Amino acid sequence: MASPNPPSLRPWTWEDLHFVLIPLMCPGHLIPMVDIACLIAQHRVLVTVATTPANTARVQATVIRATALGLPIRILEVEFPAKQAGLPEGCENVDALPSMALVRNFMAATEMLRLPIERRIREDAATPPPSCIISDRNLAWTADLADDLDIPRVVFDGMSCFTHLCMHNLQLHKPHEKGAGRSELFTVPEMPRRVDFTVAQLPGNFNPPSNIDIQDIRERTRESAERAHAVIINSFDELELEYIGAYRKVVRGGRAWCVGPVSLCNKTAVGMRQRGNSCTAADETAGLIAWLDSHKPGSVIYACLGSLNRVGPAQMMEMGRGLESSRSPFVWVIRGANRGEELDRWLSEDQFEERNRGRGLVVRGWAPQVLILSHPSIGGFLTHCGWNSTLEGVAAGVPMVTWPLFAEQFFNEKVVVEVLGVGVGVGAEEVIHLGEEDKYGVTVRAEAIRDAVVKVMSGGGEGAERRRRARELAKMAAEATEEGGSSALNMRTLIDYIKEQRQAQTSKRIK
Ligand code: UDP
């Protein structure tokens, strides 16, 4: 597949900056990284995004649009060694894995990308040599690649400042290993405010799944992240002031910069529609928007559990019933990995869609989430608390129903419900690791979902206060990303830091 071409470049000099971005191939990591690429390119810095053909296909519409606007951004495409790593052909993204048992193979395949990426970078005489690598925290091998190229590595991992700090303090003090049972609360030390969790709510690093052992990979990831020159975070200072302040004190050189919400760089309807999926069809989206247009402002709840969830049909049916009985209009996103056929059979036998016609819309597959959230009729977001989704909810100014499933999502729920006061939980109690859904069956009942939706969508009292706060946060998010805002300034600081590193290297070269 042809990569979009970079805009023509004048002959380069040693001072010219060139950022190489290497995202993890997983929607929640690839999508914000492409947003970050666009944000950096807005500073007239050449950006290369290294990825593989199936992932290029997902993001190329965004890159083509950016280059058409004159932004110096291009894709460096290398083949994904699926077969060599024991993966099905074309399986180039975590969301396409037939089973989570293949995660180790997937990570091995990403490691095989190192040599072709390095070769292509070294052979490219048309562009300035890279001045830094910004890579996903989970791609530990990119630390060695940066060392070999003698350039700084900046890490990105779609987590909040709160989570970064929690993870740091858990790793350092190991309070979860000090005798508390799986469902007993313990306090995370050295947090700006008291934060309690149970072991069962912790991400896989501290609460490993029983079916997949990747602790060695996690350990290597952690070690390589500690060697990084800087960290960039998809959040904004004003949202997590106490947490970014505390995190800067423990991160190398204090170089942790919030540059988000990065989704806000998608300003046009077409940009929002194609974000993360170049193929989202205009006509399908038009139907969705017309449906949203037919509802009152702030009246619809949008329900989506992210790009990776494998929630089984029985639990999804509870979700459908919960949305239906809330009496709010709803948009409900269902993935194939929810065992779509079984779920579809239930939907049709139950006449769910007929019964809810006009009031409920089922979206199968990929939903243009940021576009939907930006619609005035959306008044609430039922989310699994992936950090991207959480921040997209914040940026859209809507209160949230929180249903954390896996990874660090219980941390994000804590941010939404307790720190920001813009959410109501469905009462999820423990992490259900990806691939272990069947072991748990139904853990959240329709009534709990209904009650949380009713509270979030209600007009008066606490509901109104949550709504007011959510609107206030959205205003702060927009201001942070505008010229002169904290995230825009932090991006400038990152670029200036890399420029200083390059200048220091250049003067060494001259001497
Ligand atoms: N997303 C989307 N449409 C979907 C599902 C997901 O646009 O149907 C996007 C969503 O906007 C977010 C990302 O995919 O940017 C998911 O990342 P998140 O961290 O929320 O959760 P994950 O999918 O990694 O669990």
| Residue range of the domain that includes 317 | 281-478
Of the candidates 197, 148, 152, 147, the one whose C-alpha atom is nearest the C-alpha of residue 170 is 197
**Does 68 reside within a domain?**
no
| Closest atom, ligand 1, to C-alpha of 335 | 8
pLDDT for the residue numbered 181: 82
Is 283's pLDDT higher than 90? no
CA dihedral for 467, 473, 479, 482, sign (positive or negative): negative
Contact predicate 381/302, CB 8 Å: yes
Is any atom of ligand 1 closer than 6 Å to the C-beta of 386? yes
Task: Answer yes or no: is 37 within a domain.
Answer: no
- CA-wise closest residue to 360 among 386, 332, 388: 332
Q: Are 202 and 186 in contact (CB under 8 A)?
A: no
Q: Is 72 in the pocket of ligand 1 (CB under 6 A)?
A: no
Flag whether 326 is in a domain.
yes
Q: What is the pTM of this model?
A: 0.96
Q: Alpha-carbon distance 406 to 384, whole Å? A: 8
Task: Choose between 167 and 11: higher pLDDT.
Answer: 167
Q: Please give the average per-residue pLDDT across 332-357, as a whole number.
A: 92
Q: pLDDT tens for residues 433-481?
A: 998 998 889 999 999 999 999 999 998 899 999 999 999 999 999 999 9
Index of the ligand 1 atom closest to the CA of residue 263: 15
* The predicted structure's pLDDT at residue 1: 37
pLDDT for 5 equals: 47
To test the pocket of ligand 1, the residue of 24, 100, 264, 369 to mutate (highest count of ligand atoms within 8 Å of its CB) is 369
Its sign, for the CA torsion 24, 29, 31, 36, is negative
Taking the centre of ligand 1 as the mean of its atom positions, its distance from the CA of residue 306, in whole angstroms, is: 4
What pLDDT, on a 0 to 100 scale, did the predictor assign at position 135?
Answer: 98
More confident residue, 5 or 266: 266
Question: How high is the pLDDT of residue 4?
Answer: 45
Per-residue pLDDT reduced to its tens digit, 85-116: 999 999 999 999 999 899 999 999 999 999 99
Ligand 1 pocket member 406 (CB < 6 A): no
Q: How many domains in the chain?
A: 1
Element (H, E) at 317: helix 313-326
Quick check: CB of 28 below 6 Å from ligand 1? yes
Q: Compute the mean pLDDT over every residue in the chain, rounded to the nearest whole number.
A: 94
Residue 308 lies in a domain: yes
Residue 325, pLDDT > 80, answer yes
Ligand 1 contact via 158 beta carbon (within 6 Å): yes
Give 232's strand partners. Answer: 156, 257
In a domain? residue 373: yes
Read off the pLDDT of each residue in 198-213 and give the average, rounded to a whole number. 89
Distance 307 CA to ligand 1 centre (A): 5
Least confident of 7-16, 283-292, 499-508: 7-16
State whether the beta carbon of 389 lies less than 6 angstroms from ligand 1.
Answer: yes
User: Which pLDDT score, from 0 to 100, does residue 52 have?
Assistant: 98
Distance 15 CA to ligand 1 centre (A): 37
**In this predicted structure, what is the pLDDT of residue 245?**
97
**Residue 90 located in a structural domain:** no
- Give 369-405 pLDDT, tens digit per residue: 999 999 999 999 999 999 999 999 999 999 999 999 9
Q: Of all helices (H) and strands (E), which one includes residue 283?
A: helix 282-293
CATH code: domain of residue 330: 3.40.50.2000
Q: Are strands 196-198 and 185-187 parallel, antiparallel or unpaired?
A: antiparallel
Of the candidates 355, 367, 392, the residue with the CA atom closest to the CA atom of residue 288? 367
Asked, for residue 131, whether it belongs to a domain, the answer is no
What is the distance in A from the centroid of ligand 1 to the CA of 363? 14
Instruction: Assess whether pLDDT exceeds 90 at residue 172.
Output: yes
Asked if residue 52 is part of any domain, the answer here is: no
Q: Which is more confidently placed, 4 or 32? A: 32
